[in-house]
Structure formats: C-alpha cells, structure tokens
C-alpha cells in the first residue's frame, strides 16, 4: 500500500503553465501520475501539451474531472489563496510546493483547510511520492523504488539522499513525504508516523529532522508509545552553532531545545536508531528488520 497518494489519485496542477508547474507536470505524467487537470486563471479551455485540460478555477476542474488532489506551483504571494481555493473546491489532499509564503498568510489558510476536512502537505516542501503508483511534487521518480520503507523528512535534499541510499541497496519505499520546514505546515511528523504505522505494507520508517524547534522530540515521544514498527532517524545540522537556522528551517535554535545533540538524544531514548550520516540508513535498518 502507501499513504496519502496511490494509483487512484487524480491530480490537478495549480500553476500548470508556469515555469516550475509545466516542468514538473511533465515529469509527473511521465512517472504515471493521473494528472487530470491544470488550473491557470485566464487560460481555461486550453490544453497543456495537447493532453491535459486547463481550467480557470479549481472548482471547475474538480467538477469536470473528479480530481481529488492538488499540487501547487504558484508564486508565494498567490499561494495561500491557491490553498484556500483548493480546500474550498472539496479536494482531500493539497500539496503546496511553493516556498516563501508569508507566515501571516498561512495562519489564515491552514485553519480553513482543516475546517474543510482536507490535508495539506507543505508548504515549501518537495511533496509526496508513492513509488510505482503516483507522485505529487518534485521528488525525482528515478531514485525511488517500490518497497516497504516509509520516509518522512523536513529536508528536501536529504530526502533525496536517503531515498537514493535505500534504493541502491534494494530497500524500496512505500511512500516518501517531504513535510517542509516552514514555521507553519499542514502535515507534521506525527501525522506521517501515524499513517505509516497504520499501513500494513510499511515495515519500517525513516525520519529525517533538522535543528530548530521541538518537532523531532515530539515525534520521538509519539514513537515511544504509539509506533510498533522499527524507526531510524537522522538530524541535519549536527555541527551548527546555537542561533543558526538550517536553510529553510522554520525554527531557530533556542537554548538546548533545538540542538542536534538534544534531538538525537530524544530519538535514542525513544528506541529510534540514530544515523550519524545519511549513508548509515541501510545498515541501521537492516539491524532492526
């Protein structure tokens, strides 16, 4: 199985005619994703690559195609409105790739999404891929391999590195989720851990965190009492000094609560195998499987 997306996912791409939207739409289609519609206001009635119908609104796209998922490649100043529009159209899953969305915009968008009963992944994330089934976002399909390992990560590039290490060693993935590192995100570690725990075909989980905030400590606590499957983890920023952000990370180190050492200790206390480097993921998993 998989979590969040599968072969039944019908995807609408918001911003399909933009530079990033068009580039990644082609890759999603090539991967086998059911891209059933695109949305670009003012371009309704056109076709993307003579194949995908374009609509002026998400509501029109959903009505005409039965889309159930959206992926958003819209500039930051318009992205929160795109999220609101997707939720209002009744989509069950919204994947926001856009980065740089103002925090104040997200304080308005996220409660609306939740009230609508939708799930938001992101923003500022690489998206979701269920290998061999579907992808919504920018995770390269060619590095993925179908299998039983669930991956959840705050870091985009480290997601790719760990997936590559897994695949080249024959450890395929059930789903890979990039949750993003902004201060306000829709789906967190615990949401993904819960979904992987419930997925009968996921046998082990890889968690990739970063310095800053307490999300990894909260995830470790959740694993200690609610996850029965093996979990291994990595914390990026192990050499970063106090006060340093990790690239796009949404939380600055405050005292000891956001340091790599404190997070790694929390993971170990919860029984999570801790990688010192991403290349350790395979040996750690094999010890626990």
pLDDT tens digits for range 214-233: 999 999 999 999 999 999 99
| 71 in the same domain as 169 | no
Question: In the sheet where 204-210 sits, what is the strand order?
Answer: 134-137, 127-130, 173-178, 146-153, 204-210, 231-236, 273-274
| 154 in the same domain as 90 | no
- Residues 61-82 have a mean pLDDT of 98
Q: Does residue 246 register a pLDDT over 70? A: no
| 242 in the same domain as 106 | no
Tell me, what CATH number does 63's domain have? Answer: 3.40.50.720
Rounded Cα gap, residues 123 and 227, in angstroms: 26
The region of weakest confidence among 26-30, 73-77, 284-288 is 284-288
The total of structural domains in the chain comes to 2
* Local structure of 137: helix, strand or coil: strand
Q: Does residue 61 register a pLDDT over 70? A: yes
C-beta separation of 259 from 212 below 8 A: no
Residue 4 in domain: no
Residue 59 in domain: yes
| 154 in the same domain as 20 | no
| 203 in the same domain as 237 | yes
User: Nearest 5°: phi and psi at 232?
Assistant: -120, 150
Residue 131 in domain: no
Residue 128 in domain: no
Q: Which of 121, 154, 173 is the last residue of a domain?
A: 121
| 210 in the same domain as 114 | no
| pLDDT level of residue 91 (50, 70, 90 thresholds) | very high
Q: Which two tokens stand for residue 169?
A: 């060693």
Rounded Cα gap, residues 279 and 178, in angstroms: 19
Q: Does residue 241 register a pLDDT over 70? A: no
| 145 in the same domain as 117 | no
- Residues 170-175 have a mean pLDDT of 97
| 163 in the same domain as 270 | yes
Q: Which of 86, 121, 156 is the last residue of a domain?
A: 121
Q: What is the pLDDT of residue 213?
A: 86
| 149 in the same domain as 67 | no
| 191 in the same domain as 270 | yes
Cα dihedral 193, 195, 197, 201 in deg (nearest 10): -130
Residue 248 annotated as catalytic: yes
Rounded Cα gap, residues 179 and 229, in angstroms: 20
Rounded Cα gap, residues 214 and 125, in angstroms: 19
- Number of other residues whose CB lies within 10 A of the CB of residue 128: 28
C-beta separation of 5 from 135 below 8 A: yes
Print the domain residue range for 248: 139-288
């Amino acid at each position: 199985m998989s979590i969040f997306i599968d072969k039944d996912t019908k995807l609408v791409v918001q911003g399909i005619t933009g530079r990033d939207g068009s580039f990644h739409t082609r890759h999603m289609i090539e991967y086998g994703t059911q891209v059933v519609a695109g949305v670009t206001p003012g371009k309704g009635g056109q076709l993307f690559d003579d194949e995908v119908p374009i609509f002026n609104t998400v509501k029109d796209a959903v009505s005409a195609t039965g889309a159930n998922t959206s992926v958003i490649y819209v500039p930051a100043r318009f992205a929160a409105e795109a999220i609101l529009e997707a939720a209002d159209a009744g989509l069950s899953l919204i994947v926001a790739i856009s980065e740089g969305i103002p925090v104040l915009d997200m304080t308005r968008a996220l409660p609306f999404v939740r009230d609508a009963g939708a799930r938001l992944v992101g923003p500022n994330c690489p998206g979701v891929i269920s290998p061999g089934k579907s992808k919504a976002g920018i995770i390269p399909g060619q590095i993925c391999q179908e299998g039983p390992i669930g991956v959840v990560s705050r870091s985009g590039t480290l997601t790719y590195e760990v997936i590559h290490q897994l695949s080249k060693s024959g450890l395929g993935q059930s789903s890979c989720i990039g949750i993003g590192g902004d201060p306000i995100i829709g789906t967190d570690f615990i949401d993904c851990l819960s979904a992987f725990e419930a997925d009968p075909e996921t046998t082990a989980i890889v968690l990739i965190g970063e310095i800053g905030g307490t999300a990894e400590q909260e995830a470790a606590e959740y694993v200690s009492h609610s996850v029965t499957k093996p979990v291994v983890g990595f914390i990026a920023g192990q050499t970063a000094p106090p006060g340093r952000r990790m690239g796009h990370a949404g939380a600055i180190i405050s005292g000891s609560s956001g340091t790599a050492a404190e997070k790694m200790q929390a993971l170990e206390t919860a029984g999570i195998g801790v990688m010192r480097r991403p290349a350790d993921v395979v040996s750690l998993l094999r010890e626990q499987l």
